[in-house]
Structures are given as C-alpha cells and as structure tokens.
Amino acid sequence: MKAQALGRGLDALFGEIDEAYSNEGTKKQDAVLELSLKEIRPNPFQPRKSFDDESLLELAESIKKDGLIQPIVVSEDIDGYILIAGERRLRASKLAKLKTIKAILLNSDEQKMRQYALIENIQREELNAIELAEAYGELLKIHEFTHDELSLMIHKSRAHITNSLRLLQLSIKTQRALIEKKITAGHAKVLVGLDEKDQQLMVNSIVGQKLSVRDVESMIKNMKDEAPAKVPNIVKASYDFSKLRNKVDFLGFRCKSSKNQFTIEFENEEEIESFLNYLNK
C-alpha cells in the first residue's frame, strides 16, 4: 500500500508542470504572464550546478531570433517570483539581454519547489551523472522510496538508479573529472571501490592515454592481481614467567622475559653444560 500511495503522489508531481503547459492560456490561473527578469529569483533547490556556456549561447540566439517557445514556470514570492522550472531558458534570456520573459504561475511550497526542480531536470535529461545521482538521492529521501519504487515512478531500471547512486562514493576529484567530461560515466563506474590515490592514478591514465572502459577494467584487474597479500595481524599471547624466572635465578643463571619471550643468558660453555645437566636429571 505504501508504494501505491507514494506513487500517486509522485505521479501527480510529474503531471502538474505538464498540465500547466498543456493548459497554457486556457485558464485564468494558468495564463501566461510577461514578467520582468529582475523579479525572478533562481530556485534554491535546483539540482543542476553546471551549465554548458556554448549551449546557453545557442539557446540565447534562438530566443532572440524566434522568441521563447515554452514559458518558464514560477511561484509567487513576497518580493517577486521564484523559478520552479526552466533555468536554462531564464539564463539564456538574460544572455539575450531581454527585459521580460513569459512565465506560468503556479502555487508551490518549499518541498514542491525542490521536487519540481528535481523532476523537471530528470525528465529533460539535463543533469550530468553526478547531479542525476544526487537528484535520485533527494527523491529517495523526500518520498522514502526504495530503489524499486523509484524505478517504477521515473521509468528507469533499478540497476540504473543503483549504479548512478554508487557514483557518489567516488572522490571529489574523480567526480569533478566526470562532470568536466574528462572521463565517461562508464569509466567512473569501474573506479568505484578504488581508494582515492588509485582513482587519481586511473583518471590521469584515462586522460593521458585515451583509455577505453575495457582498458581501465583490465588495468584494475592487474592492479588487484599484483597487490601483495595482506599478512593477517596475529595477536601475540602474553605469559606469566614469574615462577620460571625465580627458578632460573635460584640456579644462578641470568634471564629476562617479556610478554611472550623468555631468555636465559650464559657467559661460557661451562654454564651451558651445567644447565643442560640440570635438565637431564
């Protein structure tokens, strides 16, 4: 029952923005507004951190030439509006030096703003691999989904979601290399599990030698095969040599002991012979 209830809630979230677009201009509350760009603040819960400058410039040129085909979606705030969906369009419009932008107004609370930003970017496939993994993690946290439940809701395989989340185990430097497209998601997946030093070594090799994913898999396998076997850490026992020490002292021989060692010291062969004769009695 939990999965069904949560599912209906997320399906509703997936549909609200689409419904706003499909009803564009047909209802008073969904009417397209012309808002000043200065009045619109970015969504603080936007999961997307990196934007391709060249792509934004191309979009800006398209908007200058043909206008904005699809409005952005905003929520009204005390001192203006907060962006819910359409950050690329907003940024490109600013690059195009426009003064206003078409927008659809929706009522939204803080949690929905976070959800809208996550869902829109997942649907549009505008996130890089790390941002996508973080978005999946946010949705899992917000809705308390299992990987299987989220898989059904966003129509992605469970393996895809799990493998994406595993990328967050990579070091910050390796994640940055993935975001900057120095390595691919395929490369990154086989680096999960290596320590930070080995990850950096492999990233440098991928970049410098143009290695394929198969090349990297082979190198990692060789690294593991050549790694020296770990010697088990054997805990040494501790013994009480006090009685033995007293007896050896009584016989006139020098001795010393530690936790697990007992040593008798002889000054000459005569002492050795004397000690052996004592043992043979």
pTM for the model? 0.48
Please write the tens of the pLDDT for every residue from 164-221: 889 989 999 999 999 888 999 889 998 988 889 999 999 999 988 888 989 888 888 8
Q: What is the pLDDT of residue 109?
A: 58
Average pLDDT over the chain reads 76
| Strand partners of residue 254 | 265
- Nearest alpha-carbon partner for 27 in 105, 120, 82: 105
Query: How do 72-77 and 80-85 pair as beta strands?
Result: antiparallel
Q: What is the pLDDT of residue 34?
A: 86
pLDDT value at 13 more than 50 = no
Query: How do 40-41 and 80-85 pair as beta strands?
Result: parallel
pLDDT value at 51 more than 70 = no
pLDDT value at 50 more than 70 = no
| Domains, the chain | 2-124 (3.90.1530.30), 172-221 (no CATH)
User: Where does the pLDDT of residue 44 fall: very low under 50, low under 70, confident under 90, or very high at 90 and above?
Assistant: low
* Whole-number percent of the chain with pLDDT over 70: 73
Q: What is the pLDDT of residue 24?
A: 43
Please write the tens of the pLDDT for every residue from 91-122: 888 888 888 888 888 765 555 666 666 666 66
Phi, psi of 262 (to 5 degrees): -135, 125
Q: What is the pLDDT of residue 187?
A: 92
The two structure tokens encoding residue 14: 């997936």
Most confident segment among 148-157, 171-180, 226-235: 171-180
Please write the tens of the pLDDT for every residue from 241-276: 777 877 777 777 788 887 778 888 878 777 777 777
pLDDT-wise least confident of 73-82, 173-182, 229-238? 229-238
In 3-state terms the chain splits into helix, strand, coil percentages (rounded to 5) of: 60, 10, 30
In angstroms, rounded to a whole number, what is the distance separating the alpha carbons of residues 203 and 198?
9
